[in-house]
Amino acid sequence: MIEVLYFAWVRERIGIPREKVETSATTVMDLVEELRVREERYAMAFSDLSALRVALDQELGEFDAPLSGVREVAFFPPMTGG
């Protein structure tokens, strides 16, 4: 079970800020594929991965990163702080 979080327009497209996902995905990319086929809103949110960033347990990571031991995955657009 992984806690999946969405921020900014990713959250708006999917319609929820977070959810628990029962998954056997071994990498972030596998998880993305599982989410994409769920519903149109997920497919929309994940249509262009170059426009997305991912954090694993609150640290920036890569889409090919393994999910073993990871409790929290977050998807969001490039950050715009400051």
Partner 1 sequence: MTVRIQEEEFDPGTEISGFCRGRRDIGAVVTFTGIVRDVKDTLNHMRIEHYPGMTEAALGKIEAEAVERWDLGDSLVIHRYGDMKPGDLIMMVATAAPHRADAFAAAEFLMDYLKSRAPFWKKEITQSGEAWVDATEADEAALDRWSS
Label the pairing between strands 53-56 and 72-76: antiparallel
- Rounded to a whole number of angstroms, the minimum distance from the CB of residue 40 to partner 1 is 20
- Rounded to a whole number of angstroms, the minimum distance from the CB of residue 30 to partner 1 is 22
- Rounded to a whole number of angstroms, the minimum distance from the CB of residue 81 to partner 1 is 3
Q: Are 57 and 71 in contact (CB under 8 A)?
A: yes
> Quick one: 13 or 36, whose CB is closer to partner 1?
13
Q: Are 75 and 54 in contact (CB under 8 A)?
A: yes
Binding-site ranges for partner 1 (CB under 8 A): 5, 7-9, 55, 58-60, 74, 76-82
